[in-house]
């Protein structure tokens, strides 16, 4: 396991200072940490691929600056295909790939692979929608000044769509919280594992409900953070 | 005197200038869903260096398509466009981008970047040209001063009024020191007072920088206030082209006539027609419309006609207006007298540089 994930370090920290995992607050804290870092890393990685993909989807559309209908069609179909597979099936289908990349398919780091791959097409569509909202007149103005496609993407499309893109990040992260809980049920770690194995299978109702509460708080917090960042950008421009 | 001769007489600063934009046999056909739309049908025109050239027409006539073919935002179906001697329609992508840097454009809805401040918006075309240095920043400052927005440099466009936004648009369009400024309905989203101030700015820029301006509009008032020459476009074709004064005082095409009606009235109010009919039966009478431009407007031609020839004149309707500093107008008269004197009187008016049109009685 690459040590930049620092998972083992954190796990040791929790075990050392908070006691064993079956002590509810300690296990809850560890699981929360695992969820946050699974979500954070897979959100980041899904944007590394999904953002350019979304830009390509927009700009290769008919009449746009990099019009390329065959490419648009192919990418669009792939995105739709991946999005139409239910995540739980996706998890199972990806086991061989995850094993190849990480060495195991169980645990938080292994979960990052299916989470990221499932989020990429979602991110691509979110980015596509955000960029499509931008008035075509702005693109034409830039074209009339002699801007290249890259200049239009980097100086017009992305900066103009910044508030919508920030909200998209929040939506993606929130979705990934849900997906990560699902991954947890097949041993992915985090709050999902905690709720399922301890809460459901061992009938620890307190663990179950406290996991749910933490999930709710996490999602609310992410939404609020996204909203406030987007609002900050919008207000600055007013 | 013929109209061609008259055109030479009312010289604008444009006359005799070299050609900056040369549009030759331009045709644009849009392939809509199943049906084709001919937006431009074999359009040819030239714009001279330093003039303000207007293109007017009703909505859907093809104005935007025409102006967008000049910087190739629209790819013509056939024909050529030359800007300053270079064939824009033959350029490769890279060359076209460089050529576009020298063709400024302003828009009806301003199209400013909301993510940038006013000065960053004006800097934008300089960034595109890869020319951001101290000189560029100084240029932005100078341009904002030129358009009167120095105090708004660090404000975002959302905080500006429509007129201020268009001023930013103009400053931005001038940033790369273009050879021509294209304006697509730049004042159509503005109120009349703001329109006037933007038009004045365009005229100032035209005279200070000797910048050629090609503007399109559906508003004859705009043409009247700023343009030197005008082309009237109707259903994808140019139907009339000439000096603004000439077109205003004597429109030839039905399209030009109906457009001019919106700002200069040439028609006799209906009630007056009945009035003149009742008085017929005395001697001979003719209903005429006299159009005049410039010097003739200041002379007592009508009264000397009445004195010189044995005729009476009954003024039914008149209108005098002014384009820049030249007065022009028209007068509808009923002249009464012996047939011989009437003919002589009409000849006299013609010789004095007036255009005389005999109208049918009712
Ligand atoms: N992108 C387009 N696709 C199809 N038809 C178009 C397009 N742009 C313009 N047209 C058509 O071409 C004609 C001229 O349009 P336009 O040049 O915008 O007119 P104007 O600017 O004089 O109002 C109209 O009939 C319009 O519907
Ligand atoms: Mg138009």
Q: Write down the ipTM of this complex.
A: 0.87
Give residue B264's pLDDT band: very low, low, confident or very high (50, 70, 90): confident
Instruction: Report how many domains make up chain A.
Output: 1
pLDDT of residue B11: 40
pLDDT over 90 at B291, yes or no: no
DSSP B185: S
Does the Cβ of B291 fall within 6 Å of ligand 1? Answer: no
Residue of A138, A143, A156 with shortest CB distance to B73: A143
What element of type H or E holds B47?
A: strand B36-48
Instruction: Verify whether ligand 1 is closer than 6 Å to residue B4 (CB atom).
Output: no
Burial class (CB in 10 A: 0-12, 13-18, 19+), A18: middle
Determine the residue among B114, B132, B154, B172 to mutate to test chain A binding: the one whose Cβ has the most chain A Cβ atoms within 10 Å.
Answer: B114
Q: Which residue of A has its CA nearest to B169?
A: A141
Q: How far is A204 from chain B (nearest CA, A)?
A: 51
pLDDT tens figures, B93-137? 999 999 999 999 999 999 999 999 999 999 999 999 998 999 999
Tens-binned pLDDT, residue by residue, of chain A (238 aa): 333 334 455 565 555 554 555 566 888 899 999 999 999 999 999 999 999 999 999 999 999 999 999 999 999 999 999 999 999 999 999 999 999 999 988 899 999 999 999 999 999 999 999 999 999 999 999 999 999 999 999 999 999 999 999 999 999 999 999 999 999 888 888 998 888 888 888 888 888 888 999 999 999 999 999 999 999 999 998 8
Nearest to A146 among B111, B116, B128 (CB): B128
Q: Which residue of A has its CA nearest to B108?
A: A137
Better pLDDT: B332 or B197? B197
Atom of ligand 1 nearest to the CA of B57: 22
pTM of the model: 0.86
**CATH number for position A203:** 1.10.3720.10
Instruction: Specify the pLDDT at position B274.
Output: 58
Phi-psi region of A142 (alpha: psi -120 to 50; beta: other; left: phi over 0): alpha
Which of chain A's residues have a Cβ under 8 Å away from the Cβ of B98?
146
Q: Which residue has the tokens 């780091």?
A: A109
| Alpha helices, DSSP H, located in B20-117 | 63-70, 93-100
pLDDT for the residue numbered B272: 64
Q: Which tokens belong to B139?
A: 């240029």
Which of B3, B347, B63 is CA-nearest to residue B230? B63
B36 lines ligand 1 (CB under 6 A): no
Flag if B105 and A141 touch (Cβ within 8 Å).
Answer: yes
Determine the structural domain holding residue A126 and report its residue range.
3-237
**Residue pair B112/B157 in contact by the 8 Å Cβ criterion:** yes
Compute, in angstroms, the gap from residue A230 CA to the centroid of ligand 2. Answer: 34
Structure tokens at B29: 């056909």
| For helices B192-209 and B162-174, angle between their N-to-C axes, nearest 10 degrees | 20
Task: Give the position, in ligand 1's atom list, of the atom nearest the Cα of B61.
Answer: 22
Say whether B107 and A141 touch across the interface (CB within 8 A). Answer: yes
Does B184 sit in the ligand 1 pocket, CB within 6 Å?
A: no
Task: Please work out whether the CB of residue B57 comes within 6 Å of at least one atom of ligand 1.
Answer: yes
Q: What is the mean pLDDT of chain B?
A: 88
For residue B258, what are its two tokens? 């109906």
Q: Which residue among B111, B129, B158 sits closest to A146, beta carbon to beta carbon?
A: B129
* CA of B218 vs chain A CAs: smallest distance (Å): 20
Write down the pLDDT at residue B356.
85
> Cα(B59) to centroid of ligand 2, in Å?
7
Rounded CA separation B256/B134 (Å): 49
The residue whose CB lies within 8 Å of the most ligand 1 atoms, and thus the one to mutate among B32, B34, B37, B55, is B37
């Amino acid at each position: 396991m690459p040590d930049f994930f620092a998972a083992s370090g954190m796990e040791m920290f929790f075990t050392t200072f908070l006691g064993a995992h079956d002590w509810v607050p300690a296990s809850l804290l560890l699981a929360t940490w695992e969820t946050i870092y699974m979500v954070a890393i897979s959100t980041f990685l899904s944007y590394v691929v999904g953002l350019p993909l979304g830009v390509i989807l927009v700009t290769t559309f008919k009449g746009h600056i990099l019009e390329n209908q065959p490419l648009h069609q192919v990418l669009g179909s792939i995105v739709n295909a991946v999005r139409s597979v239910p995540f739980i099936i996706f998890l199972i289908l990806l086991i061989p790939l995850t094993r190849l990349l990480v060495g195991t398919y169980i645990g938080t780091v292994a979960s990052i692979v299916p989470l990221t791959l499932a989020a990429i097409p979602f991110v691509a569509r979110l980015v596509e929608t955000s960029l499509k909202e931008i008035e075509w007149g702005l693109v034409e103005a830039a074209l009339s000044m002699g801007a290249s496609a890259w200049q239009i993407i980097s100086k017009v499309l992305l900066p103009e769509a910044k508030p919508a893109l920030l909200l998209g990040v929040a939506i993606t992260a929130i979705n990934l919280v849900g997906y990560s809980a699902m991954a947890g049920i097949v041993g992915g770690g985090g709050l999902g594992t905690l709720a399922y194995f301890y809460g459901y299978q061992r009938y620890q109702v307190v663990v179950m409900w406290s996991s749910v509460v933490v999930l709710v708080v996490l999602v609310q917090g992410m939404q609020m953070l996204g909203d406030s960042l987007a609002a900050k950008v919008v207000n600055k421009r007013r | 005197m013929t109209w061609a001769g008259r055109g030479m007489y009312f010289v604008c600063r444009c006359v005799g200038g070299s050609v900056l934009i040369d549009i030759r046999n331009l045709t644009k056909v849009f392939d809509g869903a199943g049906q084709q739309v001919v937006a431009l049908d074999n359009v040819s025109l030239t714009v001279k260096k330093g003039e303000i050239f207007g293109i007017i027409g009703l909505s859907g006539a093809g104005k935007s398509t025409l102006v967008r073919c000049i910087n190739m935002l629209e790819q013509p179906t056939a024909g050529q466009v030359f800007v300053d001697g270079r064939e824009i329609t033959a350029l490769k992508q890279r060359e076209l981008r460089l050529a576009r840097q020298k063709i400024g454009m302003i828009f009806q809805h301003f199209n400013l970047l909301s993510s940038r401040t006013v000065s960053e918006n004006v800097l934008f075309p300089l960034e595109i040209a890869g020319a951001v240095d101290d000189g560029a920043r100084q240029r932005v400052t100078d341009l904002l001063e030129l358009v009167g927005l120095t105090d708004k440099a660090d404000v975002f466009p959302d905080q500006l009024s429509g007129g201020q936004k268009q001023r930013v648009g103009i400053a931005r369009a001038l940033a790369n020191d273009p050879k021509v400024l294209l304006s697509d309905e730049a004042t159509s989203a503005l109120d009349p007072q703001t329109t006037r101030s933007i038009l004045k700015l365009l005229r100032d820029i035209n005279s200070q920088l000797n910048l050629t301006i090609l503007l399109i509009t559906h508003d004859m008032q705009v043409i009247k206030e700023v343009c030197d020459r005008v082309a009237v476009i109707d259903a994808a074709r140019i139907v009339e082209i000439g000096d603004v004064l000439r077109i205003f005082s004597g429109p030839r095409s039905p399209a030009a006539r109906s457009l001019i009606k919106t700002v200069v009235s040439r028609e006799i109010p209906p009630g007056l027609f009945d009035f003149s009919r009742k008085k017929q039966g005395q001697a001979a009478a003719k209903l005429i419309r006299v159009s005049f431009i410039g010097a003739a407007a200041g002379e007592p031609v009508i009264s000397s006609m009445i004195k010189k020839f044995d005729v009476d004149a009954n003024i039914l309707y008149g209108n005098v207006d002014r384009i820049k500093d030249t007065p022009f107008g028209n007068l509808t008269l009923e002249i009464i007298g012996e047939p011989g004197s009437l003919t002589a009187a009409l000849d006299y008016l013609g010789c004095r540089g007036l255009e005389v049109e005999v109208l049918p009685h009712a």
